[in-house]
Copies of this chain bind each other. A is one copy, B any other.
Amino acid sequence: MKTAEKANRATYTIAEAARRTGYDAETLRYYEREGLLRGIGRKSTRRVYTEENLMAIGLVTCLKKTGMPLKAIKEYVSLTARGDKTIAKRLELMRRHSKEVARQLEEVTRFKDRIDFKVWYYETAMREGSAAIADMASALSRYRRETGREVSF
């Protein structure tokens, strides 16, 4: 498929890649130095980013935003570079990470409940004066009654 191939041959300077990915150009160079990005081509000395490179950057973003340290991302990337024989390891790694992210989502959800209780608490204090809900235990049970929501401490 000549056209499909050609359609994918769009390339970008580091400034364009930076704009498209939301990173600073310095950060893209840094990621490459650190081994988080591989196979970035050059035109003379300058970096040339392909669509595939941008996808790879997107995956780095995904892993980073879900809390994976750059060091671990680097290990994953180097597994990828070692080809098909590392697929089992990559599967293992992604499964572990998925579980970790699930754990994290649950935790943050619980913490958000607590923050939303605080919001309710301050709203009520604004309306009724802070003396009216000074007792935490009864504030909590009133919150459950009025909002139907749970909070755990």
Closest Cβ–Cβ distance, residue A133 to chain B (whole Å): 11
Contacting pair A109 B115 (CB below 8 A): no
Contacting pair A101 B115 (CB below 8 A): yes
Contacting pair A91 B119 (CB below 8 A): yes
Binds B, one of A16-24, A39-47, A122-130, A142-150: A122-130
The proximity string for A residues 42-57 relative to B, scoring 1 for CB distances below 8 Å and 0 otherwise, is 0000000000000100
Closest Cβ–Cβ distance, residue A60 to chain B (whole Å): 11
Chain B residues within 8 Å of A104, by CB = 108
The verdict on A98 contacting chain B, using a C-beta distance below 8 Å, is: yes
The verdict on A114 contacting chain B, using a C-beta distance below 8 Å, is: yes
The verdict on A84 contacting chain B, using a C-beta distance below 8 Å, is: yes
Q: How far is the CA of A66 from the CA of B101 in the complex (A)?
A: 14
Chain B residues within 8 Å of A88, by CB = 122, 126
Which of B62, B87, B112, B122 sits near A66, CB closer than 8 Å? B112
Q: How far is the CA of A66 from the CA of B115 in the complex (A)?
A: 10
Chain B residues within 8 Å of A107, by CB = 65
Of chain B, the residue at the smallest CB distance from A104 is B108
